[in-house]
């Protein structure tokens, strides 16, 4: 059993969940019964969260606040968070910690940034100072900015190479996903200070943005590192059907909108079909759409039957989707009914699985064995 000092601290810090005013829900799944324990409530559309080394949780709320959850209590908003474009799907989005956070206190976060032409997804770093952020630096701005409030993405992870990996939406401009002179519908790979890595696939090309790692994506809503290989996986929304899980490879084209397993909301066909030369097939796709959101690989030992599985939140069916894998082959899937739309999923360092619900009175929920 993985009972590190960190894990013990987190269990104690989140002990409020067991005493929450909301009675824990018991859920019977294919292999195990689990309890859904509310760790924090009253969050306004929580979007992303990360575990601090002392067991507290840093959480973003889409309207623009970043808060800390400590023993079930939710802090006032942190100071010095940049202004966000809070409209439609825009707002304050993902957050993650630098691997050296215990030493440098650095966090990375994404948000819809207002500006000339509309808004675009931005990535920033900052130093976490308990009640505020300091030394806020914008590392990346999606270009071009667009009007409207759809398809900002975005998730950010620190990759196995120490680089920042950022998943972006195409801002509901389909053809931009295939345009290498645009950041829309792309995976971006950066150094931690925002510089472009010399080994990015399009460095030196006059017809492409050097930050791009892969392209042909629609609206990336989940990213996670595989626990054994360290490789970054992602999920993205299709239109009506065709939600995908992909493993973004260097310089590869993932097809949108030329190929897709979905159709338009009007019922019309999109593109030329489901495959084409030079375009990658998804590892997994869902039709009908589940509207995938945050995702995580479960590495804990508290729910042994789930170890190594991929979990994806659904913004449509109030479910958590469990994907059992053998390498990159999907063995089986399970839909776990939670009763809330799930915005984010995180592998807790205490051995449990955590989710955040997408609601004006959103919650963070811990999933633990029922007995």
Looking at domain 40-294+309-315, its CATH architecture is: 6 Propeller (2.120)
Give dist(CA 140, CA 116) in Å, integer.
Answer: 16
pLDDT at position 1 is 35
**Domain map (residue ranges) of the chain:** 40-294+309-315
Edge-to-edge strand list for the sheet holding 46-51: 46-51, 57-61, 66-70, 73-74
Give dist(CA 342, CA 52) in Å, integer.
Answer: 21
pLDDT at position 8 is 36
Question: What mean pLDDT is predicted for residues 6-10?
Answer: 40
pLDDT confidence bin for 23, thresholds 50/70/90? confident
Q: Does residue 104 surpass a pLDDT of 50?
A: yes
Q: Does residue 338 surpass a pLDDT of 60?
A: yes
Catalytic residues: 151
pLDDT at position 13 is 40
pLDDT at position 371 is 79
Give dist(CA 50, CA 68) in Å, integer.
Answer: 10
Q: In 3D, which of 155, 153, 163 has the Cα closest to residue 185?
A: 153
Question: What mean pLDDT is predicted for residues 197-205?
Answer: 98
Give dist(CA 193, CA 369) in Å, integer.
Answer: 41
Q: Does residue 9 surpass a pLDDT of 70?
A: no
Complete DSSP assignment for 57-88: EEEEETTS-EEEEETTEEPPPPBTPPP---ST
Q: Which of 4-18, 60-74, 161-175, 222-236 has the lowest mean pLDDT?
A: 4-18
Q: pLDDT tens digits for 116-155?
A: 999 999 999 999 999 999 999 999 999 999 999 999 999 9
Convert 159-176 to b/e letters by CB count within 10 Å (16 or more is b).
eeeebbbbbbbbbbbbeb
Q: Does residue 293 surpass a pLDDT of 70?
A: yes
For the entire predicted model, the pTM comes to: 0.93
Give the number of C-alpha atoms closer than 13 A to the C-alpha of residue 157, restricted to the C-beta side.
21
Question: What mean pLDDT is predicted for residues 23-52?
Answer: 96
Mean pLDDT, the chain, integer: 94
Pairing of strands 284-286, 243-246: antiparallel
pLDDT confidence bin for 287, thresholds 50/70/90? very high
Q: pLDDT tens digits for 146-176?
A: 999 999 999 999 999 999 999 999 999 999 9
Joined together, the tokens standing for residue 235 give 């999920």
Give dist(CA 282, CA 285) in Å, integer.
Answer: 6
Phi and psi dihedrals of 48, rounded to 5? Answer: -145, 155
Read off the DSSP letter of residue 193. Answer: T
Say if CB 154 and CB 93 are below 8 A apart: yes
Complete DSSP assignment for 232-258: EEEEE--BBB-EEEE-PPTT-B--TTT
Question: What mean pLDDT is predicted for residues 62-81?
Answer: 97
Please state, for a pLDDT cut of 90, what percent of the chain lies above it: 93
User: What CA–CA distances, in Å, run from 30 to 6, 311, 312, 322, 333?
Assistant: 30, 14, 16, 10, 10
pLDDT at position 22 is 74
Q: Does residue 321 surpass a pLDDT of 70?
A: yes
Give dist(CA 306, CA 354) in Å, integer.
Answer: 13
pLDDT confidence bin for 197, thresholds 50/70/90? very high
Please state, for a pLDDT cut of 70, what percent of the chain lies above it: 94
Question: What mean pLDDT is predicted for residues 281-290?
Answer: 96
Q: Does residue 6 surpass a pLDDT of 50?
A: no
């Amino acid at each position: 059993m993985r009972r590190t000092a960190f894990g013990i601290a987190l269990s104690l810090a989140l002990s409020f969940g067991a005493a929450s005013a909301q009675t824990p829900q018991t859920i019977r799944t294919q292999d195990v019964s689990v309890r859904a324990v509310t760790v924090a409530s009253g969050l306004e559309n929580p979007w992303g969260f990360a575990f601090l080394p002392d067991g507290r949780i840093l959480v973003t709320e889409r309207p623009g606040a970043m808060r800390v959850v400590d023993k079930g209590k939710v802090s006032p908003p942190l100071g010095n968070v940049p202004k966000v474009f809070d409209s439609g799907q825009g707002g304050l989005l993902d957050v993650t910690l630098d691997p050296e956070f215990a030493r440098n206190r650095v966090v990375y976060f994404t948000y819809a940034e207002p500006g000339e032409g509309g808004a675009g997804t931005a990535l920033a770093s900052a130093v976490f100072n308990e009640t505020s952020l300091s030394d806020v630096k914008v590392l990346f701005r999606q270009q071009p900015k667009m009007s409207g409030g759809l398809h900002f993405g975005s998730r950010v992870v620190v990759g196995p190479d120490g680089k920042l990996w950022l998943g972006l939406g195409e801002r509901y401009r389909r053809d931009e996903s295939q345009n290498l002179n645009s950041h829309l519908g792309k995976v971006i790979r950066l150094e931690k200070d925002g510089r472009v890595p010399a080994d990015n696939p399009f460095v030196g090309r006059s017809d492409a943005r050097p930050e791009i790692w892969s392209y042909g994506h629609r609206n990336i809503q989940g990213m996670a590192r595989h626990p054994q290989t360290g490789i970054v996986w992602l999920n993205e929304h299709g239109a009506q059907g065709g939600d995908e899980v992909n493993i973004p490879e260097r310089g590869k084209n993932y097809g949108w909108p030329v190929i897709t397993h979905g159709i338009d909301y009007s019922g019309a066909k999109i593109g030329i079909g489901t495959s084409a030369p030079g375009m990658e097939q998804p590892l997994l796709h869902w039709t009908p759409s589940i509207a995938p959101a945050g995702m995580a690989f479960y590495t804990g030992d508290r729910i042994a039957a789930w170890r190594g599985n991929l979990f994806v939140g659904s913004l449509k069916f109030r479910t958590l989707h469990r994907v059992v894998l053998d390498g990159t082959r999907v063995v089986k899937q399970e839909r776990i009914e939670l009763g809330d739309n799930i915005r984010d999923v995180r592998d807790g360092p205490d051995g449990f699985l955590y989710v955040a619900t997408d609601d004006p009175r959103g919650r963070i929920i811990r999933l633990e064995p029922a007995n």
